[in-house]
């Protein structure tokens, strides 16, 4: 019996003002086989698009697509294909590329940076979590963060991780290491989940922000190295570790215990970060301290010496180009509600959990409609009025000073801009 497959094509319009990007690009999604994603003018994408344009009759189009996929070697055998375009959305992609799926609010830790405390400590009911997850996977998405709280304790974690990875979705999770069991680590390794261990500096710094987790984090890093699956460190950049010496100590920890690199996420104004006063003082942006710390992070000698990898928020990534034309690196809009979305353990669906409250959609998956409308999550993304409001708010604007210099700079994180009274801190880094 022939196995049916779905091939979904998304024709996406990149908003005006973004240089060096094609006006349209295509993403191919195959529901049943792990088909690579193709972007831009890749020949397979062009051919499929041509088939779509020239064949309006569904059956004829699907037969031609099936024949082409088999002839091109993507399909090893003849299969029945169902193909269609996802409808376009103004000021956003037709479906999100990134999904932050946070099904559980249960966590043994008391991290000061935690934003989840603004939600609830509840966990989505299993049938609600499964249905919303399945719909999200089929939208389609291409990158998923399975997170929210300590998912090493979430019973459906591997069910969701396995399904996402089998569908070719890049899947990552950050853990504290608290309560980590070897069996869990080996299962994550065998599936290929991208694991990061949360660690904000040496013990005296980390245990301010993440009380009592330093030892567990170090043991987790060592365990993953021992089982042949080394991981990266995940750190939140706050006022406590905004210091070049702390950055040096973090790289030393990575080298000592076997981490392959460090991800540094700048602290956002939400939940515990606000209540516990962890935000970096604006003065540290103005006086150049933040710039020096991030420069040290991005150009640390251990990166080349020990082949480490680093990642940093897009709103400060412009520092990679400090010696050239820095603004060009930040030539993007805020992702919130335009490229990414979140599904949270309280049932709310949002474009970005860090945005001001008036821009958090009130759409909730705890409704019978989730089970009667198979496109319920997609409809929220495409039609929810608050998402349209978010997109208007997060739409990029050109920096007038840079424009006069012939450099295009689109402002970065809107949550940070709101916190710092309308001044985008990324603007101060170049």
Residues paired with residue 265 on neighbouring β-strands, in sequence order: 236
Q: How far apart are CA 404 and CA 309, in angstroms?
A: 35
Concatenate the DSSP letters of all residues of 171-239 into one string: EEEEE--TT--HHHHHHHHHHT-EEEEE--SSHHHHHHHSTT-HHHHHHHHHHHHHTT---EEEEEE-S
Neighbours of 50 (CB within 10 A): 12
Residue among 85, 74, 203 nearest 140 (CA): 85
Token pair recorded at residue 305: 């010496």
Cis ω for the linkage preceding 419 (within 30 of 0): no
Length of the chain: 430
pLDDT at 402: 56
Q: How far apart are CA 393 and CA 396, in angstroms?
A: 8
Q: Mind listing the pLDDT tens digit of every residue in the chain (430 residues)? A: 345 666 666 555 444 443 333 334 444 444 333 344 444 445 666 777 788 778 888 888 888 888 887 787 766 666 777 776 677 777 777 788 789 999 988 888 888 888 755 545 678 999 999 999 999 988 768 789 998 677 777 899 999 999 988 877 889 999 999 999 999 999 999 999 999 999 999 999 999 999 999 999 999 999 999 999 999 999 999 999 999 999 999 999 999 999 999 999 889 888 888 889 999 999 998 898 988 898 899 889 999 999 999 888 654 444 433 443 333 333 345 778 887 899 999 899 998 888 888 888 778 999 999 999 988 999 999 899 989 888 888 776 555 665 565 554 555 678 888 888 777 666 666 5
Q: How deeply is 34 buried, as exposed, middle or buried, from its count of CB atoms within 10 A (0-12, 13-18, 19+)? A: exposed
pTM above the 0.85 mark? no
The number of CA neighbours under 13 Å toward the Cβ of 148 is: 29
pLDDT at 416: 85
Alpha-carbon torsion, ordered 156, 143, 409, 388, to 10 deg: -70
pLDDT at 153: 79
Residues 6+ apart with CB under 8 A from 176: 109, 111, 150, 197, 198, 210, 213, 216, 217, 220
Rg of the chain taking only CA atoms, in angstroms: 22
Q: Are strands 349-350 and 340-343 parallel, antiparallel or unpaired?
A: antiparallel
Token pair recorded at residue 170: 């890049």
Check if the beta carbon of residue 322 is closer than 8 Å to that of residue 295: yes
Helix, strand, coil percentages for the chain (3-state, nearest 5): 40, 15, 45
The DSSP 8-state label assigned to residue 117 in this structure reads G
In our burial notation (b when 16+ CB lie closer than 10 A, e otherwise), range 92-112 reads bbbbbbbbbbbbbbbbebebb
What is the distance of C-alpha 214 from the center of its chain?
25
Residues 6+ apart with CB under 8 A from 118: 270, 271
Q: Hunting for tokens 């460090």 — which residue is that?
A: 262
Q: How far apart are CA 217 and CA 196, in angstroms?
A: 10
Q: Hunting for tokens 């193909």 — which residue is that?
A: 83
pLDDT at 399: 57
pLDDT at 156: 93
């Amino acid at each position: 019996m022939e196995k049916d497959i779905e091939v979904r094509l998304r024709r996406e319009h990149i908003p005006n003002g973004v240089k060096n990007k094609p006006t349209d690009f295509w993403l191919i999604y195959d529901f049943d086989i792990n088909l690579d994603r193709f972007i831009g003018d890749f020949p397979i994408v062009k051919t499929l698009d041509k088939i779509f344009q020239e064949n309006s009759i569904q059956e004829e189009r699907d037969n031609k697509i099936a024949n082409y996929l088999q002839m091109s070697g993507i399909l090893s055998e003849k299969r029945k294909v169902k193909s269609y375009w996802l409808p376009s959305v103004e000021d956003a992609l037709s479906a999100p590329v990134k999904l932050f799926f946070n099904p559980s609010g249960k966590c043994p830790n008391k991290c000061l940076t935690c934003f989840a405390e603004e939600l609830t400590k509840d966990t989505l009911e299993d049938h609600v979590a499964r249905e919303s997850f399945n719909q999200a996977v089929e939208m389609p998405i291409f990158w998923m963060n399975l997170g929210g709280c300590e998912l090493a304790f979430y019973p459906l974690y591997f069910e969701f991780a396995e399904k996402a990875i089998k569908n070719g979705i890049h899947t990552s999770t950050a853990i504290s290491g608290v309560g980590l069991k070897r069996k869990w680590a080996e299962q994550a390794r065998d599936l290929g989940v991208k694991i990061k261990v949360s660690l904000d500096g040496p013990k005296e710094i980390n245990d301010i922000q993440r009380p009592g987790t330093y030892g567990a984090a170090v043991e987790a890093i060592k365990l993953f190295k021992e089982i042949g699956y080394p991981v990266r460190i995940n750190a939140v950049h706050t006022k406590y570790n905004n210091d070049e010496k702390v950055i040096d100590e973090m790289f030393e920890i990575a080298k000592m215990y076997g981490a392959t690199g460090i991800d540094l996420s700048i602290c956002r104004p939400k939940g515990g970060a606000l209540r516990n006063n962890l935000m970096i003082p604006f003065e540290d942006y103005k006086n150049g301290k933040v710039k020096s710390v991030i420069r040290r992070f991005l150009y640390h000698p251990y990166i080349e010496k020990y082949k480490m990898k680093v990642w940093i928020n897009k709103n400060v990534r412009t520092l990679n180009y400090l010696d050239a034309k820095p603004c060009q690196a930040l030539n993007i809009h805020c992702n919130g509600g335009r490229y990414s979305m979140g599904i949270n353990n309280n049932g709310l669906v949002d474009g970005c959990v860090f945005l001001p409250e008036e821009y958090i959609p009130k759409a909730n998956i705890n409704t019978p409609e989730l089970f009667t409308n198979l496109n319920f999550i997609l409809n929220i993304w495409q039609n929810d009025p608050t998402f349209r409001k978010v997109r208007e708010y997060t739409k990029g604007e050109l920096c007038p000073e840079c424009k006069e210099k012939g450099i295009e700079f689109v402002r970065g994180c809107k949550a940070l801009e709101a916190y710092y009274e309308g001044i985008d801190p990324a603007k101060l880094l170049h």
